Amino acid sequence: MKDMPMALRHPATSFTTCAVCNIRHRAVCATCNAKELMRLEDMKYYRTFDAGQAIMYEGDEMQFVGSVVTGVAKLSRTLPDGRIQMLGLLLPSDFIGRPGRARVAYDVTALQKVTLCCFRRKPFETLVADTPHIGQRLLAMSLDELDVARNWMLLLGRKTAREKIACLMAMVARRTSALEPAAPKNGITFEMPLSREAMGEYLGLTIETVSRQITALRKDDIIVLADQRQITIPNMDRLNAETGDDIGAASAP
Amino acid sequence: MKDMPMALRHPATSFTTCAVCNIRHRAVCATCNAKELMRLEDMKYYRTFDAGQAIMYEGDEMQFVGSVVTGVAKLSRTLPDGRIQMLGLLLPSDFIGRPGRARVAYDVTALQKVTLCCFRRKPFETLVADTPHIGQRLLAMSLDELDVARNWMLLLGRKTAREKIACLMAMVARRTSALEPAAPKNGITFEMPLSREAMGEYLGLTIETVSRQITALRKDDIIVLADQRQITIPNMDRLNAETGDDIGAASAP
DNA sequence: CGTTACGTTGACTCCCGTCAAGATCCGTGG
DNA sequence: CCACGGATCTTGACGGGAGTCAACGTAACG
């Protein structure tokens, strides 16, 4: 690796300019014009965090806001007695931080090695204040996040453990197949970015219940495990029938 | 009533102009200047809904967006088999609808008699597009809603039935006392705007569990009921100690 | 190898959902 | 005035789904 040309060491991402950034068209900067992009270039810097490393702690002063460039992070909150609930999954192009707020509202932790494109908070707030583009983009992204959060409320409040696991599998499968050029339709395979513990935090379950329900879905041939993280969905309709969202598709195997 | 002067028939609200509106300084229009307010006046109209009446259905075309002026409404979603989860409580000054989206994402239902200040969707979207004021205000409100939704995720995913009820009581008590000029500190009394059924929908519980936990909190003298809806909190610290959020205050009575 | 983190499985418990029966409140009408 | 019916709420009995505690299996890594 160390002898490879520089450009190949980061195959998915360039850490140099916005023009060649892999999240350029999906992140908060998606609607920026050339001039606005230059202002962003001036205030931005990259940081990386190892898997498991804390990015921000609830209550800390927010030094920067920014976008996830590569990797997966989680948003979570912990009760005084130690119970943890994940509140969001941060994927590439997702935005971290709230302009106009000085303190961090949730713990942010890297689940894999994460690269962030950070903006110093104050200059970014100024930029948002005088470029409607960015404010509108932030609004659209916030409203999307709100929809995601509310969907998750339905899952947390009303779904059974089996349905919760099925929903998580379906969500990751859908997201993965959306990234691929051609939708395979049958036999979707993906890598689950979450450990059993992280799944439990996300779904409001214990790690034991997560494990048991995954085993149950495997025995019912709804999912197939190559290893702990590699999952194949032989028939997406049958998985969807387990989520509680779909009424139909409960036919014989 | 019919012989009263016009101004007294709606003691809390005037349905005539924005200038004298009771939510003028808290709603989406809070930061509008006189000229923007005039544009809003042109596109607005009032509608009222009786308790229990549907305001919008998930999947319908969104005809209007708007603000709650008086009353309380709920945002909810229903699974195919009938399970219901409330996703938000809409109080005076809260905004309904998402600019830029043609279809309604959740059921919206009046819990009490509700008055809405409605804006036709298309003109409102145009207004948002060319007045940064309103976009920024919407962004701030959306981010607040996101915080509320995520707090609720923690409650739904990790709290016990008793803690959920205590949280709901504390939330309504806090909101009510915030409206009053002087904070009474001891012996907060409020009217619960939700039926047992609505509480269950909000908290992800059955009506029976809601009833049992309210009885339990009453027997422990955490709450006092005058009637079904009139609730007094003799000691806010003791209630907070039951929410799971507070670590301290678990001392003897 | 041993160590450690992660995942699975079993036995048991308990919280909350389900089903059912009453209780209370309220508006309507005789 | 009371009787009646419906909606709302409470209470009890019971069962099941998920949590808890514990042991074991597996993989990664020194």
Dmax over Cα atoms in chain A, in whole Å? 60
**Is pLDDT of A105 > 80?**
yes
Per-residue model confidence (pLDDT) at position B17: 85
**Chain A, nearest residue to B157 by Cα:** A204
Per-residue model confidence (pLDDT) at position A175: 87
Q: Is A22 on the interface with B (CB under 8 A)?
A: no
Q: Which of B88, B146, B158 sits opposite A204 (nearest CB)?
A: B158
Instruction: Find chain A residues with C-beta within 8 A of B142's C-beta.
Output: 139, 142-143, 146
**Is pLDDT of A3 > 80?**
no
End-to-end CA distance of chain A: 48
Distance B103 CA to C16 C1' (A): 36
Per-residue model confidence (pLDDT) at position B253: 37
Q: Which of B124, B139, B159, B160 to mutate to test the interface with A (most CBs of A within 10 A)?
A: B139
Give the torsion sign (CA, A193, A246, B56, A157). negative
Contact: A140, B204; criterion CB under 8 Å? no
Most confident residue range from A125-134, A156-165, B127-136: A156-165
**Is pLDDT of B250 > 70?**
no
CB of A208 lies under 7 Å from some atom of strand C: yes
Most confident residue range from A181-185, B10-14, B87-91: B87-91
Contact: A246, B80; criterion CB under 8 Å? yes
Range A209-228 average pLDDT: 96
Confidence of residue A133 (pLDDT cuts 50, 70, 90): confident
Q: Is A161 on the interface with B (CB under 8 A)?
A: no
Q: Chains A, B: CB contacts under 8 A, how many?
A: 112
Q: Which nucleotide is nearest to A212 (CA to C1')?
A: C8
**Is pLDDT of A8 > 80?**
no
**Is pLDDT of A186 > 70?**
no
Neighbour count for residue B213 (Cβ, 10 Å): 22
Range B121-126 average pLDDT: 93
Q: Which of A84, A139, A244 sits opposite B135 (nearest CB)?
A: A139
The residues, any chain, with a CB within 8 Å of residue B215's CB and separated by 6 or more, are none
CA–centroid distance for B80 within its chain: 26
Q: Which of A79, A105, A153 sits opposite B87 (nearest CB)?
A: A153
Determine which of A10-14, B107-111, B203-207 has the lowest per-residue pLDDT on average: A10-14
d(CA B230, CA A173): 48
HSE (CB half, 13 Å, CA atoms) of B161? 15
SS (HEC) of B19-47: HHCCCCCCCCCCCCCHHHHHHHHHHEEEE
Q: Is B176 on the interface with A (CB under 8 A)?
A: no
Per-residue model confidence (pLDDT) at position A16: 72
Per-residue model confidence (pLDDT) at position B248: 60
Contact: A87, B132; criterion CB under 8 Å? no
Q: Nearest 5 degrees, angle CA A34-CA A36-CA A41? A: 90
